[in-house]
Amino acid sequence: MRFGLRTPSSRKSIAARTKGRATRAVKKAVVPGYGRKGMGWAKNPEKAAKTAVHHRTTRSIFR
């Protein structure tokens, strides 16, 4: 697991705002429970725990 500052990527930032937005809209309309808060804990608790720790221990240069 990584600690410390994240290095921003302009390519990934643009991709997250374009193609990802459309994909999420379709999935939210089709898959029940998709995009709801806390669904990660129901689907894969181990991964959700690691992600929660990662979000609390890393900082971005923007935040």
- Check residue 49 and give its pLDDT: 95
* pTM score above 0.75: no
Rounded to an integer, what distance in angstroms lies between the CA atom of residue 3 and that of residue 17? 25
- Check residue 45 and give its pLDDT: 94
Would you say 47 and 40 are in contact if contact means Cβ atoms under 8 Å apart? yes
- Check residue 20 and give its pLDDT: 81
- Check residue 38 and give its pLDDT: 84
- Check residue 63 and give its pLDDT: 62
Using one digit for the tens of pLDDT, what is the confidence trace for 15-60? 878 888 888 899 999 988 888 888 888 889 999 999 999 989 988 7
